Amino acid sequence: MKRLFAVATLFALTYFCAAGQSADSLAVQPIEPVASPIVVDTLATESPALSVLLFNDGTWRYVQNRTTEQDSLVYNRYWDNDNISAYNSMPKDSLPSSVAINLVDSLKSYRYPYVGRITSRYGIRHRRPHNGIDIALKVGDTICAAFDGRVRFSKATDTGYGTLIIIRHDNGLETYHGHLSARLVEENDRVVAGQPIALGGNSGRSTGPHLHFETRYLGQSFDPERLINFRTGELRRDHFLLKKGYFSIYSKYSQDFNAEAERNEAEKKETALSAEKRYYKVRSGDYLGLIAKRNHTTVSALCRLNGIKSTTTLQIGRVLRVK
pLDDT in tens, 90-140: 887 888 888 989 898 767 789 999 988 899 999 998 889 999 999 999 999
Q: How far is CA 120 from CA 28, 79, 179, 214, in A?
A: 14, 30, 14, 12
Is residue 264 very low, low, confident or very high in pLDDT (cuts 50, 70, 90)?
A: low
If one counts every other C-beta atom within 10 angstroms of the C-beta of residue 94, the result is 8
Are residue 161 and residue 296 in the same domain, yes or no?
no
When pLDDT is averaged across residues 154-166 and rounded to a whole number, the result is: 97
Q: How many CA atoms lie within 13 A of 191 on its CB side?
A: 33
Are residue 143 and residue 288 in the same domain, yes or no?
no
Does residue 262 belong to any structural domain of this protein? no
pLDDT for the residue 22:
37
Mean pLDDT of the chain: 81
Q: Which residues are CB-contacts of 158 (< 8 A; sequence separation ≥ 6)?
A: none
Residue 154, pLDDT above cutoff 90: yes
Share of the chain above pLDDT 90, in %: 44
Are residue 192 and residue 59 in the same domain, yes or no?
yes
Does residue 292 belong to any structural domain of this protein? yes
Share of the chain above pLDDT 70, in %: 74
Are residue 72 and residue 155 in the same domain, yes or no?
yes
Does residue 272 belong to any structural domain of this protein? no
- Residue 318 vs residue 70, higher pLDDT: 318
User: Residue 236 phi/psi, 5° resolution?
Assistant: -75, -25
Q: How far is CA 135 from CA 15, 56, 118, 265, in A?
A: 22, 29, 4, 32
Q: How far apart are CA 177 and CA 165, in angstroms?
A: 5
Q: Which string of b and e fits 117-129 if b means at least 16 CB within 10 Å?
A: ebebbbbeeeeee
Are residue 150 and residue 72 in the same domain, yes or no?
yes
Domain count, the chain: 2
Are residue 129 and residue 47 in the same domain, yes or no?
yes
Are residue 127 and residue 77 in the same domain, yes or no?
yes
pLDDT for the residue 62:
64
Does residue 168 belong to any structural domain of this protein? yes
Does residue 150 belong to any structural domain of this protein? yes
Domain final residue, candidates 206, 232, 250: 250
The CATH code of the domain that includes 229 is 2.70.70.10
Q: What is the pLDDT of residues 204-251, one digit of tens each?
A: 999 899 999 999 999 999 999 999 988 888 999 888 999 999 999 999
Flag whether the pTM goes above 0.75.
Answer: no
pLDDT for the residue 272:
66
Does residue 239 belong to any structural domain of this protein? yes
Is residue 1 very low, low, confident or very high in pLDDT (cuts 50, 70, 90)?
A: very low
Range of the domain at 204: 2-250
Are residue 110 and residue 203 in the same domain, yes or no?
yes
Q: How far apart are CA 187 and CA 202, in angstroms?
A: 21
> Contact 123/252 with Cβ under 8 angstroms?
yes
> Contact 244/98 with Cβ under 8 angstroms?
yes
Are residue 156 and residue 211 in the same domain, yes or no?
yes
Backbone Cα Rg of the chain: 26
Residue 78, pLDDT above cutoff 80: yes
Does residue 124 belong to any structural domain of this protein? yes
pLDDT for the residue 10:
38
pLDDT for the residue 308:
92
Residue 183, pLDDT above cutoff 90: yes
pLDDT for the residue 323:
82
Are residue 201 and residue 307 in the same domain, yes or no?
no
Are residue 17 and residue 156 in the same domain, yes or no?
yes
pLDDT for the residue 133:
95
Q: What is the pLDDT of residues 113-123, one digit of tens each?
A: 998 889 999 99
Are residue 147 and residue 289 in the same domain, yes or no?
no
Residue 51, pLDDT above cutoff 80: no
pLDDT for the residue 230:
85
Does residue 204 belong to any structural domain of this protein? yes
> Contact 173/147 with Cβ under 8 angstroms?
yes
Q: What is the pLDDT of residues 191-214, one digit of tens each?
A: 999 999 999 999 999 989 999 999
> Contact 291/306 with Cβ under 8 angstroms?
no
pLDDT for the residue 29:
36
The CATH code of the domain that includes 294 is 3.10.350.10
pLDDT for the residue 167:
98
